[in-house]
Amino acid sequence: MMTELKSGERLDELQRNGYRIIQNPGRFCFGMDAVLLSGFARVKEGERVLDLGTGTGIIPILLRGKTKGRDFTGLEIQEESADMARRSVELNDLTDSISIVKGDIREAASIFGAASFDAVTCNPPYMTDQHGLKNPELPKAIARHEILCSFEDVARETAKLLKPGGRFYLVHRPFRLAELIMTLGKYKLEPKRMQLVYPYVDREPNMVLLEACRGGRPRMTVEKPLIVYREPGVYTDEIYDIYGY
């Protein structure tokens, strides 16, 4: 299917199933964190999945390519991003299995209804501090800083959206790990799996992947570390595998 690109947009290959995605570097482009989350999330056959703050739809598109889930939805508050996501879904002929909804994460449960998803994914804004933001309404600022929603908003809505026993998958920064686990616990989202991501084997981790279960029992598995680069510019085998090269 052909699609019209708007000013500033580009078309990127996703290295999986021939999928492509429309992005605008002036607004925001997906990063490795989204790709790693799509590799960490476990979606079973026939499941319904919601991605909160989907941006240009990268996570639903990758999950559709990697899993046997039945139905994927992306929720995005910024109209331009949601529009790019919709056009990418159409470009890849995925309208039968992926839908993009414009809306606010803080109202997600009222938009979709309680206990309506088997799994929820989220690559939320990492930064709480708005210090130094010249214009807090800029698309990149909204994607990176908790301007339009906090992690507590994400956890609260996810707890309502998930079916009992449903799973929540997120990627975040390790410096907020204690707060993340406490907030998840507050909403009865029990952390079950954790994986730390290191840029190089001798550096400290710069990402954390978490799986939590709605109403799960307290027991968490810490998976072996994920190392991104073997040397500058050369990914480890695990990263190539997740990307699908």
214 located within any domain: yes
Looking at residue 27, what is its pLDDT? 79
What are the tens digits of pLDDT across the range 95-137? 999 999 999 999 999 999 999 999 999 998 766 766 556 556 5
pTM: predicted TM-score of the whole model, two decimal places: 0.93
4 located within any domain: no
88 located within any domain: no
86 located within any domain: no
> CA Rg, the chain, in Å?
17
CATH number of 236's domain: 3.40.50.150
What is the percent of the chain where pLDDT is above 70? Answer: 89
What are the tens digits of pLDDT across the range 141-198? 655 655 668 999 999 999 999 999 999 999 999 999 999 999 999 999 999 999 999 9
Residues 6+ apart with CB under 8 A from 159: 187, 188, 189, 214
90 located within any domain: no
- Alpha-carbon distance 222 to 188, whole Å? 19
Q: Characterize the bridge pairing of strands 10-13 and 20-23.
A: antiparallel
Number of domains observed in the structure of the chain: 1
- Alpha-carbon distance 174 to 167, whole Å? 20
- Alpha-carbon distance 196 to 191, whole Å? 14
Q: Which domain holds residue 165?
A: 31-54+69-77+98-243
